[in-house]
Chain A
């Protein structure tokens, strides 16, 4: 199950999605202008902390519906919430890919993920060295 917000979050993870499309479910919180053949669901878009709670229920619903083995997300907040629900309520793997835009400091969802995710991947060496649990993978060459 791939969970992503739009913009940079999605443009990065869509490259992965192209490869694993057949075995995936895609959860978005805003419309994107690329279509994939896998089942795709749009969840609510919110910036309020109160409504974030709603994502917990959405996560439970979709995880029961699709029974994914692993949640992969690049943020933002809804992705981290889906990941935590999957890991702690359902014992699934939670993989977080930090955005290329984060060179020195983690995003809010990344900060959460660096503590709770099964694996936290980031794309800059400096950021990776400041977070114990991080796996650094180079993407600029």
Chain B
């Protein structure tokens, strides 16, 4: 099983997400983890590989190859997941832990759970995620067409 972990590009570290992934994956040898760790420090762990930022090609490859995506509740990440038919497990970055400048990630987090586009990050989430298909897609064309017609 391949898990792709996306921390986000904010300059504040998001250790809480990686701690949760360590907790969830435990010592299971069948789980391979690929992390885009951004500005969060890396650490040594068996079967984990890291890059601060993958280029977009590799990022998409990681998304498609992974069995599960675990990520911060960022809009860019969520859109990429939806459009590659992945339902991610999300953990929002919160201001109280100095993980973001405000709590705006809670908005898209609750929206995504509400619309069945994501699950909350927990051990049950992994099981939940097994047989789930994202049927919706994110389509920016409506905005593109609007902008082009207008200007």
Partners in one complex: yes
Does B129 count as interface, using CB distance less than 8 angstroms?
no
Are B79 and A33 in contact, CB atoms less than 8 angstroms apart? no
The answer to whether B76 and A11 touch across the interface, beta carbons within 8 angstroms, is yes
- Chain A residues with CB under 8 A of B138: 100, 139-140
Given known pairs A33-B55, A107-B104, the reply for A141 and B136 (CB within 8 Å) is yes
Which residues of B sit under 8 angstroms from A72, Cβ to Cβ?
147
Within 8 A of A (CB), among B73-123: 73-80, 82, 101, 104-105, 107-108, 110-111, 115, 117
When C-beta atoms are compared, the residue in chain B nearest to A93 turns out to be B151
- Kindly state whether residue B43 has any CB partner on chain A within 8 Å: no
B107 touches A12 (CB 8 A): no
Cβ proximity bits A65-77 to B, threshold 8 Å, 1 near / 0 not: 0000110100000
Pair B115/A140 contact, Cβ less than 8 Å: yes
Of the residues B54, B80, B110, contact of A11 by C-beta under 8 Å: B80
Q: How large is the interface on A (under 10, 10 to 19, 20 to 34, 35 or more residues)?
A: 35 or more
Cβ of B148 within 8 Å of any chain A Cβ, yes or no, is yes
Is the pair B137, A141 in contact by a Cβ cutoff of 8 Å?
yes
Q: Within the assembled complex, what's the spacing in Å between the Cα atoms of A19 and B54? A: 24
Which residues from A are CB-within-8-Å of B55? 33
Contact partners of B111 in chain A: CB under 8 A = 103, 124
Is A53's beta carbon under 8 Å from chain B?
no
- Range for the number of chain B residues in contact with chain A: 35 or more
Chain B binder among A2-10, A54-62, A81-89? A2-10
Whether A114 sits at the interface, judged by CB under 8 Å, is no
* A7 B76 Cβ-Cβ under 8 A: yes
Q: A132 interface residue, CB < 8 Å from B?
A: no
Give complex CA distance A7, B54 in Å: 13
B143 within 8 A of A: yes
The residue from A6, A19, A69, A103 contacting B108, defined by CB atoms under 8 A apart: A103
Nearest chain B residue, comparing its CB with the CB of A47: B101
CB within 8 Å for A12 and B76 given contacts A105-B104, A140-B115, A141-B136: yes
> In the bound complex, what is the Cα–Cα distance between A107 and B116 (angstroms)?
24
Q: Give chain B nearest CB distance to A139 CB in angstroms.
A: 6
- Decide if B48 is an interface residue (CB 8 Å cutoff): no
Give the nearest-CB partner of B141 in chain A. Answer: A15
CB distance from B101 to the nearest CB of A (A): 7
User: Which A residues form the contact surface with B (CB < 8 A)?
Assistant: 6-12, 15-16, 19-20, 30, 33-34, 47, 69-70, 72, 93, 95, 97, 99-105, 107, 119, 121, 123-124, 135, 137-141
Question: Can you list 7 A-B pairs, Cβ within 8 angstroms, ordered by A?
Answer: A8-B76, A16-B140, A16-B147, A101-B74, A121-B143, A137-B143, A139-B143
Nearest 8 CB-CB pairings of A with B? A101-B75, A11-B76, A8-B76, A8-B75, A103-B107, A15-B140, A7-B9, A101-B108
